[in-house]
Amino acid sequence: MTEILITRQLSRHFQPREVVQPLDLSLTRGDILGLLGPNGAGKSTILRMICGDLAPSGGSVQICGFDLLEQPREAKRRIGYLPERPPLHPDQRVDEFLYDCARLRGLSRATAIEARARARQQCDLVEVGQRLIRKLSKGYQQRVGLAQAILHDPEVVILDEPTDGLDPAQIRQVRRLIGQLAQHKAVLLSSHNLGEIQAVCNRVVILQQGRCVYQGSLTPSGQTTYRLVLEQQPRPERIAELPSLATVESHEPGVYRLTLANGKRPAEALSELMARDWGVSEFAAETHDLEHIFLQATSGEAA
Amino acid sequence: MILTLAWMEWRRFMRTPLAWITLALILALLSWSFLGALESFNKLPAASRRLGLTHHLGLQLFGLASVLMLIITPILTLRAFSDPLRTGSYALFSSAPLTDIQILSGKFLGIFLYQLILVALPLGLSLSLWSGTPLDPGLLLSATLGLLLLSVGFTAIGLSFSALSDHPGVAAAGSYGVLLMLSLLDQHTERGSFLHWLAWPSHYLDLQMGLVRIHDLVYFLTLALFFLALAWQRLLRRRQG
């Protein structure tokens, strides 16, 4: 499948700190890639570099085959960008603002009017077209910001914390819209909210202090881990002595996370545990949810 | 794209009360000065009239217009860059298929479009006497050209300070500081020195009196290009981080 967005060794430093370490990304149509990381991890910096707002210190960005540094106009025509704070002109009316944005994106007058009507419809702004932007609620302002990002029908939509500060109903709406957009475009969004990424994205990049510590699917096919709860509370080292187990760790008394040794089956591990008379009260395979991936990746045990 | 941006900026500004209040004040002050100039000219005995009516208008009306230009330009330009840079709405321009020079030119033209009204008002008021008294059209055009060049130079200064600071207050203070310094250099420096050449009033006076000299045109264009280049550098540096 053709890649719409490619970054190669994209990096950025603000002397003396390297805020984004070399990063390779690729997005195809239908992708919703989430940048996940705590505040200050470099998410917004990456998005700003990809949309041309900030020059990278190293590496390259290609949008639909156009290099952002060498052919910025061609590349930027194909990008829609919603920064963390929606870039709005509060003294303008919604319709007027969207029309101006469309013209700035190089659309002709007639096309700009059509594009505005479409974006208003998609972002549910039809009723507020004649309202002043500064008089709209935060949710509506966010939607106006989203509308200006998709007005010109870009191939890549870049959204920085798109649901930040919205109420649950508005969050659901924005998520639905992102899902619709991804049917024909590539969407790159950032969030520090695990639930947000889990609900919207099909791929994730986890960042920590500017470094990519995980990149891949939300549900990787890694080694299965097992959750074990014992009535007795033996030290993890004692449990790890069992021949069917590879690793044992514990973050709270009596609750353990296990991995099996190569070729061993869960039934063997369970029978060995039962034989020790530690009082097994729970033994179950764990699903690798995003929280687990995130905790593993950011605690230095990157997948 | 530059014209689109300029038109957009002009329309946005014309939506604000500031635009209309400023226009009303300018019109009132210029009209008052125009009537005052006519009255003072009429009161002069014919024997002591060393300058014609057009010269009289050139000095008084266009003189006041230049002072008004100095006062309003930093107000018009202070928010051009500092506001969008502070609020983050600058991303609208920087992520659009526009170069920094196009953004700068669009903002410049948007403000210049508004200032054209101030440039045209003294000319319009003077021309209202056309049917009643002989006027010197060459002098009027020269003074209008002077005002036009003044607005180009002042706008460039205002834009450069607006791009330099994310805070509109600092941008305005910087613009006023440079404009006042370039005004005062005229009186406090030796005629013929480089510092005296830097002052705008003597260059403007030539044009007010109907003297269009290459060296004055070069001064205003150099002034504008220098400060526009500063603004451009600042925008480039911002993108570089």
Q: How many CB pairs under 8 A join A and B?
A: 68
Residue of A nearest to B2 (CA): A104
Q: Shortest CB distance from B97 goes to which of A48, A55, A73?
A: A73
Provide the shortest C-alpha distance from residue B131 to chain A (in Å): 44
What value does the mean pLDDT of chain B take? 89
Q: How confident is the model at residue B41 (pLDDT cuts 50, 70, 90)?
A: confident
Region B170-178 average pLDDT: 93
| Interface touch B95/A148, C-beta < 8 Å | no
Best residue of B18, B95, B100 to probe chain A, by most A CBs closer than 10 Å: B95
Residue B24 has a pLDDT of 94
Query: Is the backbone of residue A191 left (phi > 0), alpha (psi -120 to 50) or beta?
Result: beta
CB atoms within 10 A of CB B182: 18
**Ordered per-residue pLDDT tens for chain A, 303 residues:** 588 899 999 999 887 788 898 989 999 988 899 998 888 888 999 999 999 888 999 999 999 989 998 999 999 999 999 998 899 988 889 999 999 999 999 899 999 999 999 999 988 888 998 999 999 988 889 999 999 999 999 999 999 998 887 888 888 888 888 888 888 899 999 988 888 888 888 888 988 888 888 887 776 555 677 889 999 889 888 999 999 998 888 878 888 988 888 878 888 888 899 888 899 999 988 766 677 777 777 765 443
**Cα A150 to Cα A178: distance, rounded to the nearest angstrom:** 11
Q: What is the dihedral of CA A174, A179, A185, A190, to 10 degrees?
A: 60
Residues of A with CB under 8 A from a CB of B: 12, 14, 48, 51-55, 72-74, 76-77, 79, 81, 83-85, 87-89, 91-92, 96, 100-101, 103-106, 148
ipTM field: 0.82
What radius of gyration do chain A's Cα atoms show? Answer: 24
Share above pLDDT 90 across residues of chain A, in percent, rounded to a whole number: 35
Residue of A nearest to B239 (CA): A54
pLDDT digits (tens, 9 = 90+) for B89-102: 899 998 899 999 99
Q: What is the dihedral of CA B70, B110, B89, A135, to 10 degrees?
A: 90
Where do we find the tokens 């009360």? Answer: B17
Residue A302 has a pLDDT of 41
Q: Highest mean pLDDT range out of A277-291, B38-52, B115-129?
A: B115-129
Q: Structure pTM?
A: 0.81
CA B148 to the chain's CA centroid: 7
Share above pLDDT 90 across residues of chain B, in percent, rounded to a whole number: 50
| Interface touch B99/A53, C-beta < 8 Å | no
| Interface touch A104/B4, C-beta < 8 Å | yes
Region B29-37 average pLDDT: 91
Residue B166 has a pLDDT of 85
Residues A89, A93, A94, A100, CA torsion sign = negative
Q: Shortest CB distance from B15 goes to which of A74, A91, A101?
A: A91
Residue A223 has a pLDDT of 64
